[in-house]
A and B are shown apart, each in its own frame.
Chain A
Amino acid sequence: MGEAPAIEAEGVVKNFGRTTALAGLDLTVPRGTVYGLLGPNGAGKTTAVRTFATLLRPDGGRARVLGSDVVTHAARVRSVIGLTGQYAALDEYLSARANLVMIGRLSRLTAAEAGRCAGDLLERFGLTDAAGRAVKTYSGGMRRRLDLAASLIGSPEVLFLDEPTTGLDPRSRAVMWDIIRALTAGGTTLLLTTQYLEEADQLAARIAVIDGGRVIAEGTPGELKSAVGGERIAVDLAAGGDVEAAITALKPFSAGPAVASEDGLRLEAPVVLSDGLTTTVVRALDAAGVQVTEVSIRRASLDDVFLSLTGHSAEGKVAA
């Protein structure tokens, strides 16, 4: 089992009543990597993590963590994983230190080890000064940090973080990112879910984009971006500009279909970069009688990846 990947999912299905949360999820997470699970609300990220962490029994397919099946060898899986769920999993009435010691003892550490581990983690996460305070007096950011600290007790080999920075302000998010980067330097395998493309881009070595309970794309952030075209051209039309004519005029230059914004005033298309491209495009649009206010080139973001893969933006699926 030394060679088994950190996490392996084969056709995992999970239904809640008539909702299908996971519709045949396939995933392989190599050991020692940060793996991003990226998807919009309701994509099945939490369900996937809870299945891997033995909290849910899949209705179909199999999942293994370090080679152990999450259903038949749940106890073995539990002894090698750490979980930071989407919502803080702490006892509000206990102090931070008491929370960590409790989790340590329940992770089968001796009292001495649990105490030492708790002290180390509090220091590492900058919580030593607040260690004696009840958790219910903690701010959202402190709570998140303590929650992450709690999942590190017992030095898990595989760590699950479900949306670790959702709801944090930019400063707390940056602190969290630093902590996560430091973690992975120690060789821990990390499965991270997020709705933020930027976050996955920043932290993960590989990313699986999931939507509707299925992986719809997988690869390094670079691979995913180049799959949608490395560069994108954006055309801002003047009010009343002819979208159809603009799309036609853009066609010879684009490496894929152009997408219009909802108000029809912005067009975007993947392009292959060449000298003087912007000028050529402006001329072509001019010749077609399309009035533009701006033409610009930018690198594809993961947002573009998402949009072109799912047909809706990552931040929500309002426009279904």
Chain B
Amino acid sequence: MTSAVLSPGRGVTRQAGRFAGFVTDVWVLTKRSLARIRREPETLAEVTIQPILFVLMFTYVFGGAIGIPGGGSYHEYLIGGMLGMGLAQTAPGTAVAVVTDMSTGLIDRFRSLPMSRAAVLSARTVADLLTQVIGAIVVAGVGLAIGWRVHTGPGDIIAAFALALLFGYAFTWVGACLGMVLRSPEAAQQSGFVIFLPLTFISSAFVPTQGMPGWLQPVAEWNPMSALAAACRHLFGNPNPAAAVHAWPMQHPQLAVIAWSVAMLVVFAPLAVRLYRRKALG
């Protein structure tokens, strides 16, 4: 039998169709990323242990010192912001995975196969979206445990999670771009501190923008992270002091989240794939 396997050009059925091929490639490579998680579940710490620690810290350490303009419980205020942070902060992980992948011979093999060129990065973002779903569930779970409650209907709740995941997914493409540009996994890891931590902290994710210095307020108000926090708080019926802020994204947070996410996707997804193709040809 063995010679049959090795004889060249044996009539293997190659599936037709570019799009069908792309979908298969993405699915196969997504399973590859998920298999890695199955073997090393600790890689999920980013979307499980970290958000839990953040929620507990902010609730019990800083929370008491943070006043909510217009009143309301900090426990209820926090979760809308935490959701955005929990999801966006997976982007450095995406970057690390992409840098690591690009530095191995495996990518050479992928490139020598008749597979779709966009599949490698697309599969990475899909796998990371699935881990974000876990992250969202963890944030909601720990939220419920500390006394966060939702005061709206199922439609609003679904809309809030959908917006958060759209937002998180857009960030995975930012991570993919960083992964294509940066040279080492360490540098990719650093992007978490250099880019994503300020992005979260200079926003209304943890503290209302009203308490920030005047020059910083516009930055925080136009920060996409603030838009997501405001949108989630509004949709959950939680305290949302941003409703009193006049900046456009704070007045239309859902629209702002969609606009920011689509803009990020439109810019970063094609850019990442282009960088991949270019690197592919050395």
Contact = CB atoms under 8 A, between A and B. Distances in A.
Verify that A and B bind, or say they do not. yes
A102 interface: yes
B10 A106 contact: no
A153 to B, nearest CB: 9
A110 B1 CA distance: 19
Contacts of A121: 5
B8 A93 contact: no
Contact of A109 (B4, B13, B106, B110): B13
A106 B282 contact: no
B8 A83 contact: no
A10 interface: no
Contacts of B8: 155-157, 186-189
A106 B24 CA distance: 8
Nearest to B13: A110
Contacts of B29: 102, 106
Given A89-B105, A106-B25, A113-B12, A124 B113 contact: no
A98 interface: yes
A212 to B, nearest CB: 20
A106 B28 contact: yes
Interface in B261-282: 280-282
Contacts of A120: 1-2, 4-5
Nearest to B278: A57
A56 interface: yes
B109 A187 contact: no
Given A75-B114, A91-B106, A117 B5 contact: yes
Interface stretch (A47-55, A198-206, A227-235, A254-262): A47-55
Interface string A255-285: 0000000000000000000000000000000
Given A55-B111, A186-B6, A108 B28 contact: no
Nearest to B119: A106
B1 A78 contact: no
Given A57-B282, A157-B9, A188-B8, A83 B32 contact: no
Interface residues of B, number: 41
B5 A81 contact: no
A121 B3 CA distance: 10
Contacts of B32: 91, 94, 98, 102
Interface in B1-43: 1-10, 12-15, 21, 24-25, 28-29, 31-32, 35-36, 39-40
A105 interface: yes
Contacts of A155: 5-10, 12
Interface residues of A, number: 53
A57 B281 contact: yes
A152 interface: yes
A175 B6 CA distance: 17
Interface string A68-98: 0000000100111111011111110110001
Contacts of A187: 7-8
A159 to B, nearest CB: 8
A102 B13 CA distance: 16
A155 B3 CA distance: 11
B126 interface: no
Residue of B24, B36, B106, B281 ringed by the most chain A CB atoms within 10 A: B106
Interface of A: 16, 50, 53-57, 75, 78-83, 85-91, 93-94, 98, 102-103, 105-110, 113, 117, 120-121, 123-124, 134, 150-152, 154-157, 182-183, 185-189
Interface of B: 1-10, 12-15, 21, 24-25, 28-29, 31-32, 35-36, 39-40, 104-115, 119, 280-282
7 contacts: A103-B113, A105-B28, A106-B115, A106-B119, A107-B113, A187-B8, A188-B7
